[in-house]
Every structure is written in C-alpha cells, then in structure tokens.
C-alpha cells in the first residue's frame, strides 16, 4: 500500500505529451496532491524561470527537480512506499555519462520497393534541411540512469514480479511510445484533429492557437512519417498499433491487470500513454480492432478511486502547493 507522507510538488507538462500523461497517471494513483502547470510550448515561460531544462515532464518536489518520466515515477514510488526523503532517494538513482550524443541522426530513407510519392519527395527536402541544421549543433552529453526502472526497498518475495514489471516498463518506453505519433498524425486530417484538441486544452494565446494548429499539425505530420521510418514501422501504422496493444493485453495472462488483481507500475504507465491519445481517431480505431477498452476503463475506474478529482486530460490539476521552494537540480 502507498504510504502518505503529505508530500506536495508541481508537475510542469504538456497535457497530451505521452511522457507527461504517464507521470500524471502515477500522481493520480498515489493519492498525493500535486499542482499541474501547463507549459506554453512556444514560449516555455513557465519553466524558464526555474530551470535551464527545456523538456517536459519536469517535476519539482521537496525543492528538487526530477526529470525523465520513468525516473520520476520510480523516485516518487520509492519515496511514497518507504517514507525516505526525496533528497535521499535521488542519491539511489545516479546518472552515468554515456559520452557525446550524436545529434546528426537524420538520414534519407530510400524507397527502393515503394512508389515515390510527392509526400516522399517533400519529406526528403524536409530531411535535408533538418540534417543541415543539425550539423551546426554541437553534440550534447547523454546521461543515463541505470536504476530508473527499479523501485528501491522492494519485498524480496516479490522479486520475480518486480523483474516482470521492469521488463514491461522498458517495453512501454522503448517500443509502444514510438507507435503513438505515427498514428496520431497519420494523415493531415488526423493531425489537424489532434491539434484542435491540443490547442483547446493547452496554454496558448488566441494567436498561438491559430499558428500552432496549422504549423504544428504540418510539422507533426511530417515528423510522424520520419518517426515511422526511424523505428522501422510498417506503412500501415494502424496495424502496428493494434499489434502493440494486443502484445500488452497478452502480457496480462488473462488477469484483470498486468499486476494481477491490482495495477502495477507498468499498468499505470501504459494507461498514461494510452490516455495521451484517448478519444482521437487512432484510439477509436484501436477500440474497434482490439479489446483494449475493457482494460483501459477498468484502470480508469481504479485510478479515479485514488484521485481527488476525475481523470480528464482537460482538467488534470490537483490541489495547489506553494511555488517558492528552493530548487536544486537532481
């Protein structure tokens, strides 16, 4: 059972970012109170004042910045379950410098056995421009957190369950998440539909809503195709999505949840990922072609019992906390 330590914090997020949705799902499951701050993706003014870190999710708890969705979940869960202060818990998750990250990763993928369309040609031009820009950027140090999927202080009797949980948390990050963008932005129409939702629920001015709707949709439409090729997905990305969801359902071995009679962290993080595109055409198609909806609804009912409010992407805010805490990078 999760032990309440009366801890509070602030999550800086984009409401429909899959990684942010994953962290938000965990915060709901914990029953703790966190403030959710929607970051303007154009100006990022909400995070500029507190951090040089330019990505989300960014969570500030007990005056400490926590980064990377899976790392945030593991640190908080370890903190909540054994009561160890976050300032101590972060020491159990050291970073390892993996050297200079290659920033010039864009390559033109040939279409040897496929008909070259106008879209492919435009995509090729886009890749050339992107590659040229990236070549001017310096490589950045890449940090890894070897323990980021581990929960410290677990019951030794639950060792096998812990290993299985770690396995599927990695699968969500390393495989399933890559199926989302190519499906959400599969067509121009779907990209516009997605950005209609994003701009209505995001932190935008009226001008930014119009700008982001069309420019953002166009950019993500092209990026979705680039991601499909980068991750070697079939042109029929819907079939890839259905396959991923069916793989997840099979991992439960006929049980209510991946964790058995109650959700484990893999359940919570997978639900968070799915909630990022819930209600969009890609989700509606998935519901029609897989049995994912029963598990999703079962998870939603379970999480709503733990949360102070309903789980809706448009209204993710929990009770507010003070915002004047001293911030130290973790």
Angstrom distance (rounded) from CA 224 to CA 145: 27
Q: Which residues are catalytic?
A: 14, 17, 19-20
CB contact set of 106 (below 8 Å; sequence gap of 6+): 127, 130, 131, 134, 226
If residue 223 lies in a helix (H) or strand (E), which one and from where to where? helix 217-230
Distances (CA, A) of 174 to 47, 70, 93, 169, 231: 27, 12, 20, 9, 10
| Interior angle at CA 80, CA 78 and CA 81, nearest 5 | 65
In the chain, count of helices (H) and strands (E)?
14, 7
* 8 A C-beta contact, residue 69 and residue 23: yes
Reduced to 3 states, what is the DSSP secondary structure of residue 297?
helix
Beta carbons of 241 and 286 less than 8 angstroms apart: yes
At 257, give phi and psi (nearest 5°). -135, 165
Which secondary structure element, helix H or strand E, spans residue 101, and what is its range? strand 96-101
**Token pair belonging to 240:** 């890839």
């Amino acid at each position: 059972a999760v032990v309440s330590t009366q801890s509070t914090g602030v999550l800086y997020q984009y409401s429909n970012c899959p990684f942010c949705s994953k962290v938000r799902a965990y915060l709901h499951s914990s029953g703790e109170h966190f403030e959710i701050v929607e970051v303007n993706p154009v100006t990022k003014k909400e995070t500029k004042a507190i951090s040089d870190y330019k990505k989300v999710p960014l969570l500030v708890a007990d005056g400490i910045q926590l980064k990377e969705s899976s790392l945030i979940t593991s640190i908080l869960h370890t903190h909540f379950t054994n009561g160890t202060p976050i300032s101590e818990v972060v020491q159990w998750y050291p970073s390892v410098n993996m050297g200079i990250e290659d920033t010039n990763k864009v390559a033109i993928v040939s279409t040897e056995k496929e008909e070259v369309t106008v879209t492919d040609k435009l995509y090729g031009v886009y890749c050339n421009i992107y590659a040229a820009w990236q070549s001017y950027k310096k490589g950045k140090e890449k940090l890894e957190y070897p323990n980021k999927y581990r929960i410290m202080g677990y019951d030794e009797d639950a060792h096998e369950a812990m290993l299985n949980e770690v396995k599927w948390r990695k699968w969500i990050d390393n495989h399933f998440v890559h199926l989302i963008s190519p499906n959400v932005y599969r067509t121009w129409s779907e990209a516009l539909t997605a950005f209609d939702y994003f701009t209505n629920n995001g932190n935008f001015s009226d001008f930014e809503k119009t700008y982001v709707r069309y420019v953002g949709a166009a950019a993500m439409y092209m990026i979705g195709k680039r991601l499909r090729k980068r991750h070697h997905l079939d042109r029929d990305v819907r079939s890839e999505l259905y396959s991923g969801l069916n793989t997840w359902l099979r991992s439960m071995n006929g049980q209510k949840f991946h964790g058995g009679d109650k959700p484990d962290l893999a359940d919570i993080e997978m639900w968070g990922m799915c909630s990022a595109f819930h209600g969009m055409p890609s989700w509606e198609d998935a519901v029609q072609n897989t049995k994912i909806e029963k598990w999703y609804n079962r998870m939603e009912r379970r999480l709503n019992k733990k949360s102070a409010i309903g789980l809706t992407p448009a209204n993710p805010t929990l009770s507010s906390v003070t915002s004047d805490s001293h911030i130290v990078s973790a």
